[in-house]
């Protein structure tokens, strides 16, 4: 296909061409925004490696009742409203990797932005939340932790 054929196709299919252009712009904007958001989304295997390295602080933002039903080993339960830079769990973690986990990934993304803005250097979220963790056949523990 050459340039003239491409232009002829676009002329015959203006709505399809506009939809393609819009999707392309949306994809580029999403990727650029992802690069500048300040935190990284981890896959379950990446989080496992980070936990095994021993210095990660894993914070589960779930409601207490959900946390007790199942959470990642070693994670601490902190409500999103209580997650402030002066929180006792975070006070010494400014240089440590801080991983935020929730049930969907939405609450952790919001909290990650706030921590980055507060000066935390290594902020991560679990991509897909706890369902992604379970989908990778990784264990959850029950109880207060």
**pLDDT confidence bin for 139, thresholds 50/70/90:** very high
- Kindly state whether residues 101 and 68 are assigned to the same domain: yes
Distance CA 107, CA 103 (A): 8
DSSP letter, residue 98: E
Residue 141: inside a domain? no
Show the domain range for 112.
40-135
- Kindly state whether residues 125 and 59 are assigned to the same domain: yes
- Kindly state whether residues 13 and 72 are assigned to the same domain: no
What is the pLDDT averaged over residues 6-12?
Answer: 88
What pLDDT, in 10s, does the model give residues 53-68? 878 899 999 999 999 9
**pLDDT confidence bin for 70, thresholds 50/70/90:** very high
Distance CA 59, CA 71 (A): 10
- Kindly state whether residues 78 and 129 are assigned to the same domain: yes
- Kindly state whether residues 24 and 68 are assigned to the same domain: no
Is 4 in a helix, a strand, or coil? helix
Given this model, what pLDDT does residue 72 score? 94
What pLDDT, in 10s, does the model give residues 98-120? 999 998 878 898 889 888 888 88
Give 40-71 as a 3 state SS string.
EEECHHHHHHHHHHCCCEEEECCCHHHHHHCE
Q: What is the mean pLDDT of the chain?
A: 87
Give strand ranges (E) for 1-145.
40-42, 57-60, 76-77, 97-101, 122-126
Answer whether 123's CB lies under 8 Å from 48's CB: no
- Kindly state whether residues 17 and 86 are assigned to the same domain: no
The CATH number assigned to the domain holding 76 equals: 3.40.250.10
Distance CA 38, CA 111 (A): 12
* pLDDT above 70 (res 24): yes
**pLDDT confidence bin for 34, thresholds 50/70/90:** low
When divided into structural domains, the chain yields a total of 2
Annotated catalytic residue, options 78, 102, 112, 130: 102
To the query of whether residue 27 is one of the catalytic residues in this protein, the response is no
Answer whether 51's CB lies under 8 Å from 68's CB: no
């Amino acid at each position: 296909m050459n340039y003239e054929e491409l232009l002829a196709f676009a002329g015959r299919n203006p709505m399809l061409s506009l939809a393609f252009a819009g999707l392309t712009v949306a994809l580029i904007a999403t990727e650029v925004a992802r690069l500048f958001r300040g935190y990284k989304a981890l896959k379950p295997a990446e989080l496992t490696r980070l936990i095994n390295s021993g210095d990660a602080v894993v914070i589960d933002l779930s409601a207490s009742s959900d946390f007790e039903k199942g959470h990642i080993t070693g994670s601490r339960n902190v409500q999103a409203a209580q997650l402030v830079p002066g929180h006792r769990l975070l006070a010494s973690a400014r240089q440590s990797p801080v991983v935020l986990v929730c049930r969907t990934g939405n609450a952790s993304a919001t909290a990650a932005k706030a921590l980055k803005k507060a000066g935390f250097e290594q902020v991560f979220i679990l991509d897909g939340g706890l369902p992604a963790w379970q989908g990778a056949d990784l264990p959850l523990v029950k109880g207060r932790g």
